Structure 1
Amino acid sequence: MTKSRQKSCTRAHKLTVCISPWTQTMLLIAAVTIILAFAFTFTNGFQDAATVAATFIASRSATPRQGILMIAGMNFLGAILGGSAVAFTLSGLLTITSGPLALQVLLAALLSATVWNLGAWYFSLPSSSTHALIGGLVGAGVTAAGLGSVYWGAAELLTPPHEITGMVKVMLFLILSIVLGLAGGYAMRRCTHVIFRNANRSINRSIIRVNWVAAAGMAFFNGSNDAQKQLGIIALVLFAAGEFSVLTVPVWARFICAILLSLGTLGGGWRIMKTIGNRIFTIGPVHSMDSQISSGMTLGLSTLSGAPVSSTHIITMSVIGVGAAENPRNVRWDVGKDVLLSIILTFPATMLLSAGFFTLVQQI
């Protein structure tokens, strides 16, 4: 037996355990990938989770401290109680699900998504963590094993909507959720304009109370959808490393993701919050309510359907929709253009990043 193939053995309580160098390497890659998934969850708090508080605070429905604390708390509950449908959808996007190649793909995907998240946060651009992660998975997967490494789900296009799976389902809901965010915000503002047409200013007190309920519901579904993306990756890592015989989401991972998502919301979302809350148009309590109700409904529908979507883009587009219904001339359309540019760039950019990271990981 050559030195490179010798097994490392440890003795504990008269039991000798031998682990080959290759197994040690796989476990090390798995551990690094899980740690990176947790780090990505924290950066997710900068992006998607922080956006939830933007209109709530900008409309003066809550102080910054009150708003952030409430949103962080509901994100935590959503991550704990929100189920696993989204996690299993994400974990089913790759056909490479076991062995060292799968671990390398997952590590490269997370590296690219995390780098993209931090860059978008630095430049105050409301980018999508979801788009970044999915782009990373596709880029690394295709680099590793060609187009067949991704489960596209094209065969299910002619089946009933609830049976659609794979990348087709993900892309369908990503596009549909953005359209619903824009259209829902516009429709909500038109409706509330008619309902509150003859109301006096004292109605704002009641609207602010509704805002608290709407923001709590939206934060709950945001926490559920966001945390499950990382949980799906962690489930894949543990399966690929041979730790579990079936795909499953461990309870300890769910609690850690919930904590980190909340901490990310508390610590780093102010740059993105300023973009959404102040730069698109001047937001009042009724505008915040309209945006939160329409966004919350879209997020809830997507989460219950098991579809990973971008909270940032749903909320941003709903704010633009509300502003357009209020007065199109008061909307900073250049911010909307920046968001659309981010949507267009994120997928190809993270695919290229993850392809590069995969090549680098293989060399190591």
Structure 2
Amino acid sequence: METVLVLTILVVIFALAFDFINGFHDTANAIATSVSTRALKPRPAILMAAIMNFVGALTFTGVAKTISKDIVDPFLLENGSLVILAALISAILWNLITWYFGIPSSSSHALIGSIAGAAISAAGFGVLNYSGFIKILQALLISPFIALIGGFLMMTLFKILLKNRNLFKANRRIRYLQIGTAALQSFTHGTNDAQKAMGIITMALIAGNLQTTDDIQLWVRIAAATAMGLGTSIGGYKIIKTVGGKIMKIRPVNGAAADLSSAIIIFSATLLHLPVSTTHVISSAIMGVGTAQRVKGVKWGVAQKIVITWIITLPISAIVAALVYRILILFL
């Protein structure tokens, strides 16, 4: 019992660490366009994002419940706390590596792949809740394509609305709109991404027989929201540089179109209780906006590297988590 309690405490610590890292790793995507167009300076942008992420994280719990029960059933998982700990270590490692190199990879893919990999290592492929797992994978795979189309359509709409306007004056005014879209983007990020850590902690509480339902306790919500808010306040300038400038040259109208379309998609996923990769959605929306503006204006070489990272994240994190579980079980 003492070992289970210690493991549960470690899971809570590592889950909050994951949320903290997610804050400066993924939240940079939410403010990247507004910073790159100088609608906001980095410091106030990060402060605003931290506050809006905190508020968003406290508002919803549906995604957290999906994470806690739809990948594997925590009530049936043997060595559940150890499995979850291995998954968190794997996801954190991947996040730190990709952050170091300035690659906007998916924390969601890393976490979900890691949970699946560690669980399979512990109990075989039969442990997966295939209906729930496939539903999550579908959301992760389809959402970037929806974002690409959404960004394209939103930018097309903006072009129609601004057709007879002075572009210089319009861009100057749209910078003010970007402050609002960046705030909305940060809020929706909190409603989806912060809940992943809440779901993980709830899984650990169930696995450690410290909770008998999949309800998300208030202290879990506050702790996860605080960790993400603090992580956001640290900032993620490397990711901002990649998302805000290396995919395409972003003007205020482009940034507003990308922010608005991606925020709508992320929030829709939250309402459907589906975890999506905010990184994928935002980057894809920017590509869609760039395509509507000028296909050659998108730096497809950079986009290709980002897409490759998206593809390899889930299987690599699953393998790493499986290995981490095997190492941990030697000592426990």
The answer to whether TM tops 0.5 is yes
Q: Which amino acid aligns with 2:64?
A: A
Paired residue for 1:112? 90
Please state how far the C-alpha of 1:96 moved relative to its aligned partner. 4.2
Paired residue for 1:156? none
Sort the Cα spacing of 1:211 and 1:268 in 2 relative to 1 into closer, same or farther, 3 A. closer
Paired residue for 2:63? 86
- 1-structure distance, mates of 2:25, 2:279: 7
Among 190, 193, 198, which residue is 2:164 paired with?
A: 198
Among 232, 241, 253, which residue is 1:274 paired with?
A: 241
Aligned Cα root-mean-square deviation (Å): 1.3
Please state how far the C-alpha of 1:275 moved relative to its aligned partner. 0.2
- 2-structure distance, mates of 1:191, 1:131: 31
The answer to whether structure 1 residue 303 and structure 2 residue 270 are counterparts is yes
Paired residue for 1:7? none
The answer to whether structure 1 residue 65 and structure 2 residue 43 are counterparts is yes
Which segment is superposed worse, 119-128 or 97-106?
Answer: 97-106
Structure 1: gaps spanning 5 or more residues: 1-22, 154-165
- 2-structure distance, mates of 1:78, 1:106: 25
Contact 1:96/1:149, CA 8 A, preserved across alignment: no
Which whole-Å deviations, capped at 9, do the CAs of 1:104-157 have from their partners, x for residues lacking one?
11111111000000000011110100000000011011111111111011xxxx
The answer to whether structure 1 residue 146 and structure 2 residue 124 are counterparts is yes
Please state how far the C-alpha of 1:268 moved relative to its aligned partner. 3.8
- 2-structure distance, mates of 1:97, 1:259: 28
Among 183, 187, 199, which residue is 1:216 paired with?
A: 183
Query: 3-state SS of the aligned residue for 1:202?
Result: helix
Paired residue for 1:294? 261
Among 49, 52, 70, which residue is 2:27 paired with?
A: 49
Contact 1:48/1:310, CA 8 A, preserved across alignment: no
- 2-structure distance, mates of 1:141, 1:99: 8
- 2-structure distance, mates of 1:137, 1:99: 12
- 1-structure distance, mates of 2:145, 2:216: 31
Paired residue for 2:310? 343
Please state how far the C-alpha of 1:42 moved relative to its aligned partner. 0.7
Please state how far the C-alpha of 1:195 moved relative to its aligned partner. 1.4
Please state how far the C-alpha of 1:330 moved relative to its aligned partner. 1.9
Please state how far the C-alpha of 1:46 moved relative to its aligned partner. 2.3
Among 96, 99, 112, which residue is 1:134 paired with?
A: 112
Superposed structure 1 runs of 4+ greater than 2 Å apart = 95-100, 201-206
**How many pairs align?**
329
Structure 2: gaps spanning 5 or more residues: none
Please state how far the C-alpha of 1:208 moved relative to its aligned partner. 2.2
In the TM superposition, 1:312-351 aligns within 5 A as 312-351=279-318
Contact 1:117/1:132, CA 8 A, preserved across alignment: yes
Q: Which amino acid aligns with 1:55?
A: T
- 2-structure distance, mates of 1:266, 1:182: 29
Please state how far the C-alpha of 1:242 moved relative to its aligned partner. 1.2
- 2-structure distance, mates of 1:99, 1:168: 19
Which whole-Å deviations, capped at 9, do the CAs of 1:156-188 have from their partners, x for residues lacking one?
xxxxxxxxxx01210111112111111111111
- 1-structure distance, mates of 2:142, 2:214: 28
The answer to whether structure 1 residue 182 and structure 2 residue 159 are counterparts is no
Kindly, what percent of the aligned residue pairs are identical? 37
Contact 1:109/1:136, CA 8 A, preserved across alignment: yes
